[in-house]
Structure 1
Amino acid sequence: MKRIQDFSVIDTIWLNSSSYILILKSERTLEKIEPGNFAEIKIPDTSDIFLRRPISVYDVDHDKNEISFYIKAIGKGTNKLGSLLPGNKVNIIYPLGNAYTPVKNKNVLIVGGGTGIAPFKLLGEQLSSLGSRVTYVFGARTSEEIVLSDIFSKFGEFNCTTEDGSLGEKGLVTLHSVFNNIKDFDIVYTCGPDPMMKAVSKIAEDNNVRCEASLENMMACGIGACLCCVTPTIRGNAVVCTEGPVFHSTDLKW
């Protein structure tokens, strides 16, 4: 069930010069949150930022009623969120969107880039608990942008690429050697920039491997009212914030 409520900031953990984990605490029992769900976060104490920011849930601790978000400070709104102090209040609408499909006892490949790595802590944790063998491969421009590898490694094999070759294999993420064995995987999950997801989806589809992609369209409302996130699919236009953000790649008209 969707809920709109105030949360208190517990901590802001900066991972590098441009990305951080924002940890929020609820005074109420959290709603059920699944891998792939997101929240619409209101930027507090601003008179010139009207739209909420759609942010994927990175982690959730139901025992502590805490929810965490992986955020890149790339604009005024996300920089403001990164400057919040413990005790500050933040209003969010959650949980929004659908979720990735969990599978048991399968070989799974998780491909992420940019802020698209956000849902993959919860997803990897869920899949590994179901007996699936998880392989991660994340892409970035430089080694500084490869973050949280120690966390992801708890749930599966962690691989990465950097465009400058400073960490992992050099090149785009879709050129990583793990794709040489794409047919060994039962399903691919991906999230990140559209060109990356489109390339990942094509590789999967060409090898008859199921692929689920989480779109990162602009989502102003998160509840299907404004229709700014509509994307074309084989069944017609879909509202990403309510019918997605996770889609089977074969349903999308890239």
Structure 2
Amino acid sequence: MKKFLLDLTVADNRMVSPNSALLTLQSDKGLPDMVAGQFAELKVPSAKVLLRRPLSIHSVDRSQNRIEFLIQAVGEGTAALAAMKRGDKLNVLLPLGNGFSYRSIPVERPLLIGGGVGVAPLLFLGQELALNDIRPTFLLGGQTKSSILRKEEFMKYGDVFVTTEDGSEGERGFVTDHTLLFDSILYDRVYACGPLAMLKAVAQWAREHEIVCEVSLENRMACGIGACLCCVEDTADKGNVCVCTEGPVFQTDRLKWFH
């Protein structure tokens, strides 16, 4: 898929949790085709930060030529992005990587599982599935209630269930502890993004129930185009590959998690 280097305008930027911001960017010339699960490289508006920051595409409004990113402000670069003001300009390279395979493979009963800020690509996926009249089930997990991000927005596109480690919202425990997973026959595909330990647990559950599972990996990235080799993941079919170009989405039977 062709990549584009765009100068976009900040239409809105607001905090949606104590350390997470929702950045909305506006294009004056339209947006290219994008697949849920792909990401973008955002140029940080700070002379102190040289590398772009890779962020999952969170939401796309093609009618308004707007794209949203969910930003967890954990370092100087992401903090600078979270502090941008309406009207600021931002240079963005997109779309990058490979997304989820919902366009090429029939899906009827998808289960979308996200942990923390890992929910980011799943909203766009829910929007895309809605175009085919598919209403997925979302399972969102976090440490506490404040880490469950954009629950109300997810509810527009599917049924939403929640787990928190402290029990402050939804069921207490991890996503793989939720009673929703007791009825595995309800789902024909699993899409997940979040911490590595969560992804491995979800992949194991899907494997045991013979459900195809795709995960979006969050390996540390720099260039986003496969040049710096800092995001390498070992696969069963191709050996070491760059997550930024071969992924970030992988079918879990390709990964050396169970080999």
- Name the TM tier (shorter chain): over 0.9
Deviation at 1:191, TM superposition (A): 0.4
Name the CA distance, whole Å, in 2 between partners of 1:16 and 1:210. Answer: 32
Question: Amino acid of the residue matched to residue 201 of structure 2?
Answer: A
Contact 1:105 / 1:131 at 8 angstroms: preserved in 2?
Answer: no
Aligned match of 2:178 in 173, 176, 190?
Answer: 176
Note closer, same or farther for the CA distance 1:140–1:218 as it changes in structure 2 (3 Å cut). same
TM-score by length of 1: 0.96
- State the partner residue of 1:209: 211
Deviation at 1:148, TM superposition (A): 1.2
Aligned match of 2:196 in 177, 190, 194?
Answer: 194
- State the partner residue of 1:19: 20
For the residue of structure 2 that corresponds to 1:164, the secondary structure is coil
Deviation at 1:47, TM superposition (A): 2.3
Name the CA distance, whole Å, in 2 between partners of 1:30 and 1:105. Answer: 26
Deviation at 1:88, TM superposition (A): 1.1
Contact 2:11 / 2:25 at 8 angstroms: preserved in 1?
Answer: yes
Aligned match of 1:185 in 187, 191, 199?
Answer: 187
- State the partner residue of 1:63: 63
Question: Amino acid of the residue matched to residue 252 of structure 1?
Answer: L
For the residue of structure 2 that corresponds to 1:32, the secondary structure is coil
- State the partner residue of 1:114: 116
Contact 1:57 / 1:68 at 8 angstroms: preserved in 2?
Answer: yes
Deviation at 1:132, TM superposition (A): 3.0
- State the partner residue of 1:132: 134
**Cα offsets for 1:46-83 (capped at 9, x unmatched):** 22211111000111122222111011111111111111
- Report 1:33-72 matches (<5 A): 33-44=34-45, 46-72=46-72
The worse-fitting range, judged by mean Cα deviation, of 188-197 and 101-110 is: 101-110
**Cα offsets for 1:81-138 (capped at 9, x unmatched):** 1111111111111011111111546111111012210111111122233233411111
**Cα offsets for 1:159-200 (capped at 9, x unmatched):** 010111010000111111111112321000000111100000
The worse-fitting range, judged by mean Cα deviation, of 216-225 and 130-139 is: 130-139
TM-score by length of 2: 0.94
Contact 1:104 / 1:130 at 8 angstroms: preserved in 2?
Answer: no
Name the CA distance, whole Å, in 2 between partners of 1:88 and 1:245. Answer: 29
Aligned residue pairs total: 253
Q: Is it true that 1:239 corresponds to 2:222 in the alignment?
A: no
Name the CA distance, whole Å, in 2 between partners of 1:60 and 1:209. Answer: 28
Contact 1:152 / 1:158 at 8 angstroms: preserved in 2?
Answer: yes
Contact 2:217 / 2:248 at 8 angstroms: preserved in 1?
Answer: yes
**Structure 1 unaligned runs (5+)?**
none
For the residue of structure 1 that corresponds to 2:136, the secondary structure is strand
Name the CA distance, whole Å, in 1 between partners of 2:200 and 2:170. Answer: 22
Name the CA distance, whole Å, in 2 between partners of 1:151 and 1:219. Answer: 28
Name the CA distance, whole Å, in 2 between partners of 1:77 and 1:14. Answer: 16
- State the partner residue of 1:4: 5
Contact 1:105 / 1:133 at 8 angstroms: preserved in 2?
Answer: no
For the residue of structure 2 that corresponds to 1:15, the secondary structure is strand
Deviation at 1:26, TM superposition (A): 1.7
Name the CA distance, whole Å, in 2 between partners of 1:250 and 1:31. Answer: 31
CA-based RMSD: 1.2
Name the CA distance, whole Å, in 2 between partners of 1:105 and 1:253. Answer: 25
